[in-house]
Amino acid sequence: MSSLVISMLRYCVIAIGIAVAYFLYFRWSDARPALEVILLTCVAFNGLISFLSHVIFHKADARRLGMESANPGFQFEVGFANLAIGLAALLSVLFGWGVTASIVLVLCYALYILQTVALHFQRFVTGEKTNAGYLWGSVVFAFLYVANMFFFALAALTQEHLAPF
């Protein structure tokens, strides 16, 4: 139950963050405030709450993902990766590290989540996990989440005239 509540909270914050980012981007034609919203909601908040899910509530989270194991070491490693990127994103926002740091952190987290999408897609294709909820939640929606993070990072790269654009 706790894992499901945490997941729903994450999905709501991500959806709200993406919606606000698009509003800001198209309202002001400026990628920087939109990227900050993405960094705060989709990276910092999601990274921190994912840490809680994978480490504190690791048993429920492993059940939800269908990756139950006698040893939660893998869950802890995933949680620590989320914590590291989430904390770095939060510090970047709090201390104003600038648009370049924001872009790097968003791209880093997007690549990390893209790899999890590939893992979940592989599990679906091989028949390890076959239900539609898994496909939509762990593959389709997660891919859309990644695509939106890439969009805002690339928009900021382009706007700021950072290489290679």
Q: What are phi and psi of 126, to 5 degrees?
A: -80, -5
Report if residue 165 sits inside a domain: no
Whole-number pLDDT of residue 7 = 84
Q: Looking at the 3D structure of the chain, how many domains does it have?
A: 1
pLDDT per position as a tens digit, 41-79: 999 999 999 999 888 887 776 676 666 776 778 788 999
Confidence band of 32 (pLDDT split at 50, 70, 90)? very high
Whole-number pLDDT of residue 81 = 97
Non-local CB neighbours of 161 within 8 Å, separated by 6+ positions:
none
Report if residue 110 sits inside a domain: yes
Report if residue 164 sits inside a domain: no
- CA gap 63, 68 in Å, rounded: 6
Q: Which pair of structure tokens corresponds to residue 164?
A: 């290679």
Report if residue 99 sits inside a domain: yes
Whole-number pLDDT of residue 54 = 85
Whole-number pLDDT of residue 1 = 59
Task: State pTM to two decimals.
Answer: 0.92
Report if residue 127 sits inside a domain: yes
- CA gap 17, 132 in Å, rounded: 25
- CA gap 97, 105 in Å, rounded: 11
- CA gap 128, 74 in Å, rounded: 18
Mean pLDDT, rounded, for 1-24: 91
pLDDT per position as a tens digit, 76-89: 899 999 999 999 99
Residues spanned by the domain of 51: 2-159
pLDDT per position as a tens digit, 90-145: 999 999 999 999 999 999 999 999 999 999 999 999 999 898 988 998 899 999 99
Whole-number pLDDT of residue 165 = 60
Mapped onto helix, strand or coil, the DSSP state of residue 128 is coil
Kindly tell me the burial class for residue 28, based on how many C-beta atoms sit within 10 Å of its own C-beta (0-12, 13-18, 19 or more): exposed
